[in-house]
Structure 1
Amino acid sequence: MSTLTLRPASALDLTLLATLEARSTAHPWSEAQYRGSLESGHQLFIAQLDAEIVGLAVIMLVLDEAHLLNIVIDHDWQGQGLGRQLLSELMLRMRQQGALRMFLEVRESNTIARSLYESLGFSECGIRKHYYRAEQGREHAILMEASL
């Protein structure tokens, strides 16, 4: 299997990011949200296997804390361990940039993602009640953190 590589995303990639997420998640970010994130100075990454784009991530680095704002693996590539590889690489890069901890939020119902995060050292550190829009009302966000 090829090695997963990351490259920084630019304004030229925003349509691609929004399209990839729209076909891969039930509640995708819009192109405008990606643009706002890029303009705010967040780090946007594109994950590739050879030349094929398989995922993306958005991180906000504040002092010694990294905040994972979004992570997506393309629908056709899910379930193959690429999310683990992507998050592991992000954790390493953030540690190299001086982060001591990483935080994230995850839908309470997303047990697959929560298991992945726990297996990489994340633990629950809070809850945001009724944070996410859901098909029927609102859903809690579980806050998680890991030492880097």
Structure 2
Amino acid sequence: MSSIALRTALPFDKDKVVELIHRLNVFEADLVGDRRRDYGAAAEYYDELMQRLSRRNGRIVLAETEGVVVGVMGFSLDQDAAYVSDGLRNHGTVTDLIVHDDWRGRGIGKMLLAEAERLTKEAGLKRLFIGVLVANERAERTYRAFGFEPYVSIMSKDV
């Protein structure tokens, strides 16, 4: 396997990131049925994500090999509500983690998670959060193997 390098995404990387978001949307649509499958949805989400990350001292980190982007991670520094203990209130968040389907199972997700952990520690924080769809069992296994444990459960009901 070629070596994988991590770097912060730049504006000219937008199309590569949108392509991976689109692939994830299609994958998750098959799992949960509520994701848009059109490319425009991925482009709209990219714009939303960039706005959110800019407000939260965040960035997109790319995993790249030989000029090909094989993984993307959104990362931000966040703050919980006032009722959370001061030492744990501020935390890192993996907002998005996408590995190109042709590259899954090669440790790229774990490499991106290690970078999120490094960025969290670099900011002097002690806690890192990530969300996962219940239906995405493979991603949940990866996150648990990396040391994540369930913390909060968001429940949904169609009405």
Range into which the TM-score falls when normalised by the shorter chain: 0.7 to 0.9
The aligned counterpart of 2:65 is 49
Out of 47, 52, 57, the position equivalent to 1:37 is: 52
> Post-superposition shift, 1:38?
4.2
Higher share of residues assigned helix: 2
| Cα distance in structure 2, aligned partners of 1:25 and 1:73 | 12
State the TM-score, normalizing by the size of structure 2.
0.72
Work out the number of aligned pairs and report it: 133
Greater displacement, 33-42 / 16-25: 33-42
SS across alignment from 2:125: coil
Task: Tell me which structure has the larger Cα radius of gyration.
Answer: 2
Unaligned regions of 5+ residues in structure 1, if any?
Answer: 132-136, 139-148
The aligned counterpart of 1:61 is 77
SS across alignment from 1:99: coil
Higher share of residues assigned strand: 1
Out of 90, 93, 96, the position equivalent to 2:116 is: 90
> Post-superposition shift, 1:120?
0.9
**1:93/1:2 CA distance change after superposition, 3 Å:** farther
SS across alignment from 2:124: coil
Greater displacement, 105-114 / 81-90: 81-90
SS across alignment from 2:105: coil
Out of 76, 83, 101, the position equivalent to 2:127 is: 101
Native 8 Å contact 1:60 1:69 kept in 2: yes
> Post-superposition shift, 1:123?
0.5
**1:25/1:45 CA distance change after superposition, 3 Å:** same
State the TM-score, normalizing by the size of structure 1.
0.76
Unaligned regions of 5+ residues in structure 2, if any?
Answer: 27-34, 36-40, 80-89
